[in-house]
Amino acid sequence: MAKKDTSPELTEEFRKTLSMTKMLDVEVDDELKRSFIAYAMAVNKSRAIPDVRDGLKPVHRRILFSMHEMGLYNDKAFRKCARIVGDCMGKYHPHGDSSVYDALVRLAQEFTISFPLVDGHGNFGSVDGDSAAAMRYTEARLTKLAAEMLKDLDKETVDFIPNFDGSEEEPVVLPARYPNLLVNGSDGIAVGMATNIPPHNLAEIIDGTIAMIDNPDITVDELMEYIPAPDFPTGGILMGRSGIRNAYRTGQGNLVIRSKCEIEEYGSGNNIRSRIIVTEIPYQVNKAMLIKTIADMVRDKRLEGISDIRDESDRDGMRIVIEVKKDANAQVVLNTLYKKTKLQISDGIILLALVENGTEPRTLNLRDILYYYLEHQKEVITRRTRFELNKTEERAHIIAGLVLALANVDEVIRIIKASADKFAAIEGLTTAFELDEKQATAILEMRLQRLTSLEVEKLKDELTQLQATIADLKDILANEYRVMAIIRGDLADIKSRYPSPRKTEISLDYGSIEDEDLIEREDVVISITHSGYIKRLPVAVYNAQGRG
């Protein structure tokens, strides 16, 4: 057995360590609760749950802000995604580059969000589940609609906070000129909660928001006249609205999405056959996996009546062809596909977002989301107006000094010529004409061409216009109805510039498929024997046997 080391040096060192260590007596239960709650709030606020004001999670907001700082707007050249990811990760989002790139790719996929915020150049994945090319190959820039999310960011419209190391500043939220949370949707699994907000139609959301501006007491049911249901980028058919109505009223509900299919006949004479053509599939269904699943089920004889399936999709659109056997009923086959495959899916809606300046996750109804968005916009417009007022007043102040100087140009020239240096000239001007230092400096920096009578008139006209602008900006700040009118005008402008026809069709509630729907309708003969046995035969078979 090894002897225990009891050397005096080690013992003394251990004693010193003990004397310098602060011991805390805590209950493990209490410490776990505190630590887990802190962890949960960090995940919910900083990772998984979007902000109700701009509809973005922190990683998406940081990507857009990085691209804004790099000047990557839609009228500029594309830039390598590796550069964008590196800039975002190094300045604002100190996590793995793959997580940043995956978020960037999602913002560029037309089959994932209704209005992409990133204009991707290269392979950004497909509806078949193909992953995007490596970030060193792909390029990106902001879309036109993303510019609306970032507009007026430099006019102190939102608060900025230090980044993770205090070397940079990033926005707490984006100005967001349209309700992005509903337009592009969001999903995420947090700690103890989850969110699943489907995308909607831009024009319908703007119509609903304008209706709420016009009638602040509008109800959820009245809003649903403008916003009837989600609108998915991949189209499809919504089967009924009862679950959607429930989600809009309470924040939780469900929906059923069905692929858009049609049955067509081909061939001629006695060789007429049927096939099912699928042109749209449910949101976030992997097309390649869907086809593989159907093929596997046919091979394993879990699906009957299908002779062939192939993918004829091209750049013009989706086209999946499912050929039906000659003796099978195409409608019954289609009903079976709806029931057993992802040609029809059910999905839940959870309208969960961060409210109270991004500090509290809360389940909201449709009206709540638009209310918080409008409150954010009121603050954005107010702060923008206050910023413009300050800038206009500063300019008017300078122009007023120049006009005064030009009205007394001879005295101004005399003071300047008599001054020993710039500082003496400034002091002389401020004393003689009751100007401040900024006005006196502007007079000294004025070019000689301003002394012409034409330039003097231009300055007077500019001062008059600035004074009218100041009065108008003060009127906006004093009257909330004018702020709401500006928000209304901005929304109407976006709707007119970004047309958005509805892609998802809304159908009656035929979503549930009963067993009877899987049986072909035909005339039959029911036979009962003397012994009490019952037998069913199709009429055609009964006639062929020469009975009856």
What residues act catalytically?
A: 137
CA angle in degrees (0–180, nearest 5) for 286-291-293: 90
As a whole number of angstroms, the distance between CA 381 and CA 176 comes to 11
Q: Which two tokens stand for residue 357?
A: 């300046």
Strands, E assignment, 260-334:
260-266, 273-280, 306-311, 320-324
Strands of the sheet with 505-507, listed across from one edge: 186-189, 194-197, 344-350, 252-258, 237-239, 505-507
Give the chain's radius of gyration (CA, Å): 34
Tokens of 431: 């004393």
3-state helix, strand, coil in the chain (%, to 5): 50, 15, 35
**Residue 214 C-alpha from the chain's centroid:** 25
Give pairs for 424-433: CB < 8 Å, separation 24+.
429/405, 433/401, 433/404, 433/405, 433/408
Residue 24, token pair as written in the block: 């805390």
DSSP letters for 72-126: --TTS--EEHHHHHHHHHHHT--S-HHHHHHHHHHHH-TTTSSS-SEEEES----
Within a 10 A sphere around the Cβ of 207, how many other Cβ atoms?
A: 18
Calculated CA dihedral for residues 262, 263, 266, 271, nearest 10 degrees: 170
Q: What number of CA atoms fall less than 13 Å from residue 160's CA on the CB side?
A: 14
Angle between helices 366-407 and 422-433 (to 10 degrees): 100
Residue 503: CA count within 13 A, CB half-sphere: 25
Please give the structure tokens belonging to residue 47.
């990772």
Please answer whether residues 372 and 364 qualify as being in contact, where contact means their C-beta atoms are separated by less than 8 angstroms. Answer: yes
Residue 89: CB partners within 8 Å, gap ≥ 6? 95, 97, 100
Count of residues for the chain? 548
Q: Which residues contact 433 (CB under 8 A, 6 or more apart)?
A: 401, 404, 405, 408, 412
479 Cβ partners below 8 Å, 6+ apart? Answer: none
Q: What angle do CA 329, 330, 332 make, to 5 degrees?
A: 70
Query: Among positive and negative, which fits the CA dihedral 448, 449, 453, 455?
Result: negative
